[in-house]
Amino acid sequence: MGYVLLAALFLCAFDAGDVDLAKLPRKIAPPKGAKAPKYCCLVFGEKAERIVWLALDGQTLYVDRNSDGDFDDAEEKVVAKASEEGSVLQFAAGDLAIPKVDPAEMSVRVMKEPGKGDKITVSVRVRREGAPSAESDGRYFCYAGPTDAGGDLAFADKPGAAPMLHFGGAWTLDFQDKYSVAKGREFEAYLCVGTRGVGTGSYVAVGIQDGAPEKALPVVKFLSRGPSVRILHRC
């Protein structure tokens, strides 16, 4: 029997829901003056009530805060805070005025690796009715990127090909990265609670630390032929 040492963030999983992100509109006007913007679509709310587009252009991030389909407002332009060597760009985009979800402290981090492409992480704290939170304001932390089981998060040259990240959506379980299971061998993997998006690297993991009994352990079942799995513990 194969044995797996699985350090898992396993708290509680909501039903995956029936929102089809791929059918949401992808119309956005490019930022004025941008040289080579790359796009990412953020979706907020369990039923995808709001869409907020991001456009990354070098050391400038454009945020369609009011979801009006352009980046014309003054507060929709965010300049990066770069590390001393310039290899890491941090965009502090702040809060968004979206009822119920109340996104706070949105941040985009870009780590530049020559010859390997950028490593991008998008993070935000949101609310969701019924979701446990250890924070005094009732929000919980969630993030997408730099990678998930499907691959790396990458902004796209055109809105039609942009990844879609769903914040405050229904929860399911997924692996944080790609893993291979070999019979009789022990390895460490990470299982996350979060919301699936569209595109590689689009899985939005949630960072809630309370909510499940200590003895509650995830069960992994393989639909194809292979070794059986026993979960030893979680963190």
Query: Is 120 a member of any domain?
Result: yes
Convert the pLDDT of each residue in 174-220 to its tens digit. 876 766 667 677 767 777 788 999 999 999 998 865 555 566 666 66
Residue 179 lies in a domain: no
The burial of 233, by beta-carbon neighbours within 10 Å (0-12 exposed, 13-18 middle, 19 or more buried), is given as exposed
Structure-block tokens of residue 73? 């407002």
In a domain, 228, yes or no: no
Structurally, the chain folds into a number of domains equal to 1
pLDDT on residue 1: 30
Amino acid symbol at 65: R
In a domain, residue 177? The reply is no
How many CB atoms neighbour CB 129 within 10 A? Answer: 9
**Most distant CA atoms of the chain, gap in Å:** 60
CB burial string 92-118: b at 16+ within 10 A, e below: ebeebebeebbbbebbbbbeeeeeeeb
221 occurs within a structural domain: no
pLDDT for residue 193: 84
- Residue 99 domain-assigned (yes or no): yes
pLDDT < 70: residue spans in the chain: 1-18, 176, 178-181, 183, 187, 208-235
Q: What is the rounded distance in angstroms from the CA atom of residue 196 to the CA atom of residue 21?
A: 10
Is 232 part of a structural domain of the chain?
no
**Host domain of residue 163:** 20-168
pLDDT at 6: 34
Residue corresponding to tokens 């902004």: 155
In a domain, 139, yes or no: yes
